[in-house]
């Protein structure tokens, strides 16, 4: 969005209408939501009518709504995809998030955002997308701060990055691990998440170096401490992952990042948040209380180890202490952590993990619903805080827009003018014959009280100025005028058109590569036309359309198992054999590009 100021956006997931409203009320500046088809989360779809309802509410606060149409499209789906896109545009969505370049060929009158599934990792790639008419580039999660800065130096396009939630271990849009094990494909919105399974690490000679570990499962992301740095690096949109998450997660995490971004904006007067409204809530957000695989910063500071969650792909939660003693049906912690009935606990000792719920907690004695395998010395984590979750669920959350009122009372008329924080104004008038008031002070007090009320509207009246308190106006009449004015104000906000930056593609930009591999996901004629227009000479059909992935690269990743287990080839290692990952009958060769510091998986499964 072009402006003399920099507008900073908190972009939040919405599984459905209810989650969308929760995100808006907790402070989202924008939402991303799935439509009825063609989204990368098949389990999070919404009808066009429901999205229209989301748009109507969100736009009251200037909150944008982006719809994810980020799967690849087969030839027979092009017409249906375009029809859906145009229906969404008709109900007022602000942008479409897309992977398939077919959408660029459809000449849609809407902002197009290049999904992270386009695998946006380089400055030249981002510049090409900018020159091809994309309003925004959504960055790959594996980028470091320096790499983001490099992209910003070569572009002016809006940059969006993930700051919280699950990480795809493979570079986005270039992972076919699910497709190699079933008919389900991440590029078609049906990833079976085989990266969260256990694998054995095996040498070419058959020696099993590591057995039954989650070798591809990486920790979740938490860049909340880096918001200021990212703003300074040129990022304008901060994205929370989680279109499958429940309302409690949305309320907690969105509220937490609203506070973090507001704190960063407070010291950057050249920046403003994208939407308006102040969120009121009755709980203190805490990301440790919501689902997280031990959130970290992944590759933000460069390639590093310690990013995998080898013992479990599930949420471990917040550390509480260590098991001090054990009886037949209870245990005691070394710490004085407050634990309540209904809490979910996770115990870790060496290679093992045990989960249980709390039946009773009293005086430091904790009685779980089972004691299987709980031993002294085990680390204890809480992955479900019953009291906190109830507090969030029951919390009254309201988002309001600051509004001021001027009330003029004369002998023959009353005029009420309301203006909100963006300068949107309304005026309500009543031509009436008024008597003199018996008490100017009392009349002013009654008028101020009546005109300041806002009830369940989206407005909060912060200031009321009364002129003409020497004339008497009834509280009933003033209340009627106030309700009419605030209703008109809401209608005026609903009817306004938010500014957009819709760009066209003149076809002049040259794609950085002349040949497209199967990993570029081209499977339809419109996408082929797009790349041909931009200088590509040879296109291999996308891997998702192949009958088998055998012998093909099914994942490329900035995560490296060698680096993770201390066997980096660049730093010297005794383990120089070719390595394989095995899960059941599935087998993958690990290839290492030490110059780029990347790892690839090649499907070696014998069908």
Q: What are 232-280's pLDDT values in tens digits?
A: 999 999 999 988 899 999 999 999 999 999 999 999 999 999 999 999 9
Average pLDDT, the chain: 95
What are the percentages of helix, strand and coil residues in the chain, rounded to 5? Answer: 30, 30, 45
The pLDDT of residue 495 is: 94
CA distance 235 to 227: 9
Of the candidates 263, 222, 225, the residue with the CA atom closest to the CA atom of residue 241:
222
In three-state secondary structure terms, 460 is: strand
Q: What is the token pair recorded at 219? A: 């920790």
Query: Contact, 22 vs 41, CB < 8 A?
Result: no
Using the structure block, give the residue that is written with the tokens 């009158």: 109
242 in the Ramachandran plot: left (φ > 0), alpha (ψ -120 to 50) or beta? Answer: left
Q: 349 falls in which pLDDT band (50, 70, 90)?
A: confident
Total domains, the chain: 4
CA distance 79 to 13: 27
Query: Contact, 38 vs 82, CB < 8 A?
Result: no
147 CB-contact burial (10 Å; exposed 0-12 / middle 13-18 / buried 19+): buried
Of the candidates 462, 448, 391, the residue with the CA atom closest to the CA atom of residue 420:
462
Residue 59 lies in a domain: yes
Is the pLDDT at 388 greater than 90? The verdict is yes
pLDDT > 90 in the chain, percent: 89
Of the candidates 306, 235, 316, the residue with the CA atom closest to the CA atom of residue 6:
235
- How large is the angle between the packed helices 48-60 and 78-90, nearest 10 degrees? 30
Is the pLDDT at 50 greater than 90? The verdict is yes
Across residues 336-354, what is the average pLDDT?
86
E strands present in 242-371? 271-273, 278-280, 318-326, 331-333, 344-349, 352-362, 365-368
Domain CATH number, residue 254: 3.20.20.70
Q: What is the token pair recorded at 205? A: 């000679």
Residue 543 lies in a domain: yes
Longest dimension (CA), the chain: 101
Same domain, 67 and 146: yes
How big is the chain, counted in residues? Answer: 607
Rounded to the nearest angstrom, the gap between the alpha carbon of residue 174 and the centroid of all alpha carbons in its chain is 20
- The contacts of residue 584 (CB under 8 Å, 6+ apart) are none
Q: What is the pLDDT of residues 471-489, one digit of tens each?
A: 999 999 999 999 999 999 9
Domain CATH number, residue 467: 3.30.420
499 CB-contact burial (10 Å; exposed 0-12 / middle 13-18 / buried 19+): exposed
CA distance 195 to 178: 8
Entry pTM: 0.95
Query: Contact, 25 vs 397, CB < 8 A?
Result: yes
The pLDDT of residue 543 is: 96
Q: What is the token pair recorded at 418? A: 């309301």
584 in the Ramachandran plot: left (φ > 0), alpha (ψ -120 to 50) or beta? Answer: left
CA distance 463 to 452: 7
Is the pLDDT at 588 greater than 80? The verdict is yes
CA distance 332 to 324: 5
Same domain, 381 and 427: no
Residue 37 lies in a domain: yes
Q: Which of these three, 394, 420, 442, is where a domain ends?
A: 394
In three-state secondary structure terms, 478 is: helix
The pLDDT of residue 1 is: 43
> b/e per residue, 431-458, with b = 16+ CB within 10 A?
eeebeebeeeeebbebbbebbeebeebb
Of the candidates 41, 58, 42, 148, the residue with the CA atom closest to the CA atom of residue 95:
58
Same domain, 344 and 388: yes
- Dihedrals φ, ψ of 6, to 5°? -100, 125
Across residues 188-197, what is the average pLDDT?
94
Q: 2 falls in which pLDDT band (50, 70, 90)?
A: very low
Residues forming a β-bridge with 67: 33, 96
Across residues 40-55, what is the average pLDDT?
89
The pLDDT of residue 41 is: 77
Span of 50-59, 152-161, 181-190 with lowest mean pLDDT: 181-190
Residue 592 lies in a domain: yes
In three-state secondary structure terms, 287 is: helix
Query: Contact, 243 vs 13, CB < 8 A?
Result: yes
Q: What sign for the dihedral angle of Cα 552, 558, 564, 565? A: positive
Same domain, 162 and 255: yes
Is the pLDDT at 53 greater than 50? The verdict is yes
Of the candidates 283, 292, 218, 236, the residue with the CA atom closest to the CA atom of residue 256:
283
Span of 293-302, 418-427, 481-490 with lowest mean pLDDT: 293-302
The pLDDT of residue 524 is: 98
Residue 501 lies in a domain: no
Same domain, 407 and 489: yes
Domain CATH number, residue 336: 2.40.10.170
Same domain, 514 and 485: no
Same domain, 538 and 576: yes
CA distance 264 to 197: 38
CA dihedral 31, 32, 33, 34 (to 10 degrees): 170
For residue 328, the enclosing domain spans 318-394
β-strands 413-420, 425-431 pairing: antiparallel
CA distance 459 to 483: 11
In three-state secondary structure terms, 328 is: coil
CA distance 117 to 438: 71
- The contacts of residue 258 (CB under 8 Å, 6+ apart) are 10, 26, 27, 28, 279
The pLDDT of residue 153 is: 98
Q: What is the pLDDT of residues 489-529, one digit of tens each?
A: 999 999 999 999 999 998 999 999 999 999 999 999 999 99
Same domain, 191 and 250: no
The pLDDT of residue 7 is: 97
Q: Which of these three, 394, 415, 436, is where a domain ends?
A: 394
CA distance 481 to 57: 24
Residue 26 lies in a domain: yes
Residue 605 lies in a domain: yes
Q: In sequence order, what DSSP letters do the residues of 481-502 get, joined into one string? A: HHHHHHHHHHHHHHHSPPP---
Q: 303 falls in which pLDDT band (50, 70, 90)?
A: very high
Rounded to the nearest angstrom, the gap between the alpha carbon of residue 551 and the centroid of all alpha carbons in its chain is 34
Query: Contact, 63 vs 43, CB < 8 A?
Result: no
Same domain, 95 and 227: yes
The pLDDT of residue 43 is: 75
Same domain, 468 and 483: yes
Span of 96-100, 307-311, 525-529 with lowest mean pLDDT: 307-311
- The contacts of residue 494 (CB under 8 Å, 6+ apart) are 56, 59, 60
Same domain, 69 and 144: yes
Q: 458 falls in which pLDDT band (50, 70, 90)?
A: very high
Same domain, 137 and 226: yes
Q: Which of these three, 433, 466, 495, is where a domain ends?
A: 495
Residue 390 lies in a domain: yes
């Amino acid at each position: 969005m072009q402006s003399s100021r920099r507008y900073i956006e908190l972009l939040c997931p919405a599984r459905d209408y209810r989650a969308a409203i929760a995100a808006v009320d907790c402070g989202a500046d924008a939402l991303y939501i799935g439509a009825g088809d063609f989204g990368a989360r098949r389990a999070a779809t919404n009808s066009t009518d429901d999205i229209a309802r989301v748009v109507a509410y969100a736009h009251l606060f200037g909150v944008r709504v982006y719809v994810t149409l980020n799967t690849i499209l087969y030839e027979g789906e092009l017409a249906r995809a375009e029809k859906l896109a145009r229906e969404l545009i008709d109900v007022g969505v602000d942008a479409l998030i897309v992977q398939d370049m077919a959408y660029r060929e459809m000449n849609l009158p809407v902002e197009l955002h290049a999904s992270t599934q386009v695998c946006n990792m380089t400055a030249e790639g981002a510049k090409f997308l900018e020159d091809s008419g994309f309003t925004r580039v959504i960055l790959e999660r594996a980028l470091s701060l320096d790499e983001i800065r490099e992209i910003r130096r070569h572009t002016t396009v809006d940059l969006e990055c993930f700051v919280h939630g699950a990480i795809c271990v493979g570079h986005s849009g270039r992972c076919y691990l699910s497709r190699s094990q079933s008919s389900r494909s991440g590029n078609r919105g049906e990833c079976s998440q085989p990266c969260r399974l256990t694998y054995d690490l095996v040498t070419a000679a058959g020696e099993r170096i590591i057995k039954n570990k989650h070798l591809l499962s990486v920790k979740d992301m938490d860049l909340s401490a880096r918001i200021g740095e990212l703003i300074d690096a040129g990022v304008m949109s901060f994205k929370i992952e989680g279109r499958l998450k429940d309302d409690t997660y949305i309320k907690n995490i969105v509220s937490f990042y609203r506070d973090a971004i507001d704190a960063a904006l407070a010291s950057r007067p050249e920046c403003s948040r994208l939407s308006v409204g102040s969120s009121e809530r009755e709980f203190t957000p805490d990301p440790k209380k919501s689902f997280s695989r031990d959130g970290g910063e992944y590759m933000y500071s460069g390639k590093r180890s310690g990013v995998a969650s080898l013992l479990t792909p599930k949420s471990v939660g917040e550390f509480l202490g260590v098991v001090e003693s054990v009886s037949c049906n209870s245990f005691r912690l070394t710490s004085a952590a407050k634990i309540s009935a209904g809490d979910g606990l996770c115990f870790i000792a060496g290679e093992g993990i045990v989960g249980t719920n709390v039946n009773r907690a009293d005086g430091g004695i904790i009685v779980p619903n089972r004691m299987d395998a709980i031993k002294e010395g085990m680390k204890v984590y809480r992955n479900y805080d019953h009291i906190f979750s109830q507090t969030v669920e029951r919390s009254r959350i309201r988002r309001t827009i600051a509004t001021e009122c001027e009330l003029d009372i004369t002998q023959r008329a009353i005029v009420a003018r309301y203006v909100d924080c963006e300068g949107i104004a309304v005026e309500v008038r009543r031509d009436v014959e008024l008597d003199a008031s018996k008490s100017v002070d009392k009349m002013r007090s009654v008028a101020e009280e009546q005109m300041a009320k806002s009830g369940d509207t989206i407005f909060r009246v912060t200031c009321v100025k009364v002129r003409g308190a020497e004339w008497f106006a009834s509280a009933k009449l003033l209340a009627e005028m106030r309700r009419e004015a605030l209703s008109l104000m809401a209608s005026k906000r609903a009817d306004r058109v938010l500014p957009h930056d819709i760009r066209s593609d003149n076809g002049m930009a040259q794609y950085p590569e002349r040949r497209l591999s199967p990993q570029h996901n081209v499977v339809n004629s419109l996408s082929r036309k797009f790349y041909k227009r931009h200088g590509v000479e040879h296109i291999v059909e996308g891997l998702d359309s192949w009958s088998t992935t055998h012998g093909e690269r099914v994942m490329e990743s900035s995560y490296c198992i060698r680096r993770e287990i201390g066997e980096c080839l660049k730093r010297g290692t005794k383990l120089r054999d070719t390595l394989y990952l095995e899960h059941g009958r599935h087998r993958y060769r690990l290839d290492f590009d030490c110059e780029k510091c990347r790892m690839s998986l090649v499907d070696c499964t014998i069908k």
